[in-house]
């Protein structure tokens, strides 16, 4: 038996190595999450003739394309969108009800990720520090690290802070966003005490300044943009102070102190994010270890451009043409560094956007504004006349009314009666408002995967208001004459791409309804790890 012992050792070692190798091969080396801010689904199909073969077309042709994917809640904004993608749930559970909201304790507006308890890292204190402390669910990136005792690496990069902070989850290895006051990528003391050397070296290259010198020029001949509205349009903002809205766009007339923030309104903002993501891939050795790593990338420029120029502009079309080239380059980079078929990638958006309101009204299509000031004055006057108190309303924001509970108690009023009277007055006097809910209508119910009640799915009891209302399709709280916005439960805001590509992803096109919350559930299922703590999504890819 003693003579056989070495052979048993060899066999044991071989089996052990085989098992270890098998476990490694059963998971991708890297997961890449790409979020394109304000990307309506139709931007994928509408601009497809102008895309190259290696970007969006490659993902659609070789991956699983879900053509009828929607957000399942009303708060279709950047922070709730990123939170919902990565938690697999809605604001009802994760708590991010908007980009900013009224805080009943401090009686001030608070930002979804801004956190004064920390310090900005890499900006000499001039940029706002951030943290994920207002996010009340775990993320798929959290779950990946929890699954293997923190051995996976998670890096999140975006132009916007919320586009990096929320995908990164609660204990990532690095989260970086662009500081519009310095032109550098920054972080927060929540994550680190100093920037990694590779980020510092990237900042030293001063690429922002080089892009400022280049300006923004069309990628293709003017004739290719005939599907968009005229280049010179009164429905577009003069972001560059040029006295015009047509190409090319140069920074000559932009104040020096404003140039880094104005850079956000160009595709160069996406260039910077993509370049830093490639640096992260190399210097953090993502996908090179024994455990699956995660790289979260959010492209924000498309949102800034949409807000300034609208959905029908030369600018938005050119932004997607340029983004297509960026994605193609990233895919080639992943192929070379990780290996084609060794990485799992998804591409989606945090929300869509309304067709340019000025363009809609010009063509006699339904659009308009509620008029926030008039609405506020009217409701306040009604309550004052009805209850003899002009301080009952504490705040109106995000299409929500917050009552002053101290004043309500002082007046001896029944809060439910106050809610009902206010609801009835709004319903009878503001025809552009389509639905109205009181707090007691929503409390006691639970969010659902299907958007049976988009307002309920956006409601978080601790921070939401007492009255919540929605507007008719095409209508805004205040009419916009230039650019566009988002934030409704309608298809133009909820219909977004969901594409899975790469590791064990079949080639298929599916048009059955799926939802943004299904992304995290799908990734968790493919990786054989636990889904995020409040996930209500379902897996979309059959094994």
The pLDDT tens digits for 505-536 are: 999 999 999 999 999 999 999 999 999 999 99
4-13 mean pLDDT: 40
The radius of gyration of the chain from alpha carbons, rounded to an integer in Å, stands at 25
Q: What percent of the chain has pLDDT over 70?
A: 95
180: nearest Cα among 253, 264, 300: 264
446 Cα distance to chain centroid: 23
Q: How many CB atoms lie within 10 A of CB 18?
A: 10
Residues of the chain with CATH 3.30.1360.150: 371-431+433-471
C-beta separation of 131 from 113 below 8 A: yes
Q: In whole angstroms, what is the distance from residue 474 CA to residue 487 CA?
A: 11
Q: Please answer whether residues 112 and 105 qualify as being in contact, where contact means their C-beta atoms are separated by less than 8 angstroms.
A: no
User: What is the model's pLDDT at position 282?
Assistant: 99
* pLDDT mean across residues, the chain: 95
Please give the Cα distance from 93 to 135 (Å, whole number). Answer: 9
Q: What is the pLDDT of residue 126?
A: 84
Q: How far apart are CA 448 and CA 451, in angstroms?
A: 7
* Whether the Cβ atoms of residue 470 and residue 432 lie closer than 8 Å to each other: no
Which fold would CATH assign to domain 371-431+433-471?
Answer: Gyrase A; domain 2 (3.30.1360)
Residue 21 has pLDDT above 70, yes or no: no
Report the pLDDT value the prediction gives residue 127, as an integer from 0 to 100.
85
pLDDT band at 136 (very low <50, low <70, confident <90, very high): very high
Tell me how far apart the alpha carbons of residues 210 and 358 are, in angstroms, rounded to a whole number.
Answer: 34
The CA distance from 38 to 220, in Å, is 22
The 8-class DSSP code of residue 113 comes to: S
Give the length of the chain: 543
State mean pLDDT over 50-54. Answer: 99
Comma-separated ranges of CATH 3.40.720.10 domains in the chain? 29-361+497-527
Q: How much is the average pLDDT of 83-97?
A: 99
- Is the per-residue pLDDT at 229 higher than 60? yes
What's the pLDDT at 125?
Answer: 80
| pLDDT higher than 80, residue 5 | no
Q: Among 15-19, 73-77, 453-457, which is the least confidently predicted range?
A: 15-19
The label of the residue with tokens 């599907």 reads: 227
Residue 486's nearest CA partner among 317, 350, 337 is: 350
The CA-based angle 375-381-383, given to 5 degrees, is: 105
pLDDT greater than 60 at residue 16: no
Q: What is the pLDDT of residues 64-88, one digit of tens each?
A: 999 999 999 999 999 999 999 999 9
Q: What's domain 29-361+497-527's superfamily in CATH?
A: Alkaline Phosphatase, subunit A (3.40.720.10)
Catalytic residue among 24, 67, 76, 78: 78
Position 25 scores a pLDDT of 53
Q: Is the pLDDT of residue 401 over 50?
A: yes
Confidence of residue 214 (pLDDT cuts 50, 70, 90): very high
Q: Give the range among 13-22, 142-151, 337-346, 443-452 with minimum mean pLDDT.
A: 13-22
Give residue 133's pLDDT.
Answer: 99
On the question of pLDDT at 427 being above 70, the answer is yes
pTM here? 0.95
- Written as one string, the DSSP assignment of 415-430 is HHHHHHHHHHHHHHH-
Whether residue 10 is predicted with pLDDT greater than 50 in this model: the reply is: no
What's the pLDDT score for residue 4?
Answer: 38
CA distance 346 to 499: 5
User: In angstroms, rounded to a whole number, what is the distance separating the alpha carbons of residues 19 and 2?
Assistant: 26
- The answer to whether 143 and 87 have CB atoms below 8 angstroms apart is no
**Residue 543: which pLDDT band, with cuts at 50, 70 and 90?**
confident
Decide if 78 is catalytic: yes
**Per-residue pLDDT at 300 exceeds 80:** yes
CA 286 – CA 278 distance, rounded (Å):
10
443-451: average pLDDT: 97
Is the pLDDT at 389 greater than 70, yes or no?
Answer: yes
Q: List, in sequence order, the alpha helices (H) in 26-161.
A: 42-46, 56-62, 78-87, 91-94, 140-146
Residue 406 half-sphere exposure toward CB, CA atoms < 13 A: 5
DSSP state of 348: E
CA dist list (Å): 165 to 89, 159, 179, 186, 205: 17, 11, 14, 12, 24
337 φ, ψ (degrees, to nearest 5)? -90, -30
pLDDT of 235 > 80? The answer is yes
């Amino acid at each position: 038996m003693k003579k056989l012992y070495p052979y048993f050792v060899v066999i044991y070692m071989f089996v052990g190595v085989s098992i270890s190798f098998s476990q490694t091969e059963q998971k991708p080396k890297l997961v890449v999450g790409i979020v394109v801010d304000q990307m309506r689904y139709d931007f994928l199909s509408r601009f497809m003739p102008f895309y190259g073969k290696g970007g969006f077309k490659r993902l659609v042709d070789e991956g699983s394309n879900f053509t009828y994917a929607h957000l399942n809640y009303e708060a279709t904004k950047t922070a709730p969108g990123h939170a919902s993608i990565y938690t697999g749930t809605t604001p009802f559970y994760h708590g991010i009800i908007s980009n900013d909201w009224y805080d009943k304790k401090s009686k001030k507006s608070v930002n979804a990720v801004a956190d004064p308890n920390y310090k900005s890292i890499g900006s000499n204190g001039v940029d706002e520090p951030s943290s994920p402390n207002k996010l009340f669910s775990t993320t798929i990136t959290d779950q990946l690290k929890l699954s293997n005792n923190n051995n996976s690496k998670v890096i999140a990069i975006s132009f916007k802070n919320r586009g990096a902070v929320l995908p990164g989850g609660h204990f990532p290895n690095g989260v970086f966003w662009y500081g519009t006051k310095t032109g550098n990528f920054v972080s927060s003391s929540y994550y680190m005490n100093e920037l990694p050397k590779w980020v510092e070296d990237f900042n030293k290259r001063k690429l922002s300044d080089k892009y400022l010198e280049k300006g923004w020029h069309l990628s293709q001949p003017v004739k290719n943009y005939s599907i968009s509205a005229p280049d010179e349009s009164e429905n577009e903002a003069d972001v560059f102070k040029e006295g015009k809205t047509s190409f090319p766009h140069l920074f000559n007339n932009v104040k020096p102190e404003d140039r880094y923030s104005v850079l956000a309104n160009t595709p160069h903002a996406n260039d910077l994010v993509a370049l830093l993501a490639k640096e992260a891939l190399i210097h953090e050795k993502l996908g090179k270890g024994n455990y699956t790593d995660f790289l979260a990338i959010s492209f924000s420029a498309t949102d800034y451009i949409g807000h300034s120029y609208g959905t029908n502009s030369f600018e938005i079309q050119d932004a997607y043409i340029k983004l297509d080239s960026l994605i193609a380059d990233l895919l080639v980079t992943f192929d070379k560094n990780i290996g084609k078929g060794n990485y799992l990638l998804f591409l989606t958006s945090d929300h869509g956007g309304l067709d340019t309101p000025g363009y809609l009204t010009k063509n006699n299509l339904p659009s308009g504004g509620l008029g926030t000031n008039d609405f506020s004055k009217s409701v306040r006057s009604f309550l004052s006349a009805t209850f003899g108190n002009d301080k009952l309303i504490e705040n109106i924001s995000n299409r929500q009314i917050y009552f002053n509970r101290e004043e309500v108690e002082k007046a001896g009023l029944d809060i439910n009666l106050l809610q009902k009277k206010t609801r009835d007055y709004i319903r009878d006097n503001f025809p552009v408002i389509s639905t109205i809910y009181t707090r007691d209508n929503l409390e006691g119910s639970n969010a659902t995967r299907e958007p049976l009640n988009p307002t309920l799915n956006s409601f978080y009891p601790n921070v939401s208001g007492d009255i919540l209302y929605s507007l008719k399709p095409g209508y805004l709280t205040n009419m916009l004459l230039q650019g566009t916005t988002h934030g409704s439960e309608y298809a133009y805001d909820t219909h977004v791409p969901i594409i899975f590509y790469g590791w064990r992803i079949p080639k298929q096109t599916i048009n059955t309804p799926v939802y943004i919350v299904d992304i995290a559930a799908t990734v968790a299922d493919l990786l054989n790890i636990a889904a995020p703590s409040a996930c209500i999504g379902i897996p979309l890819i059959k094994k």
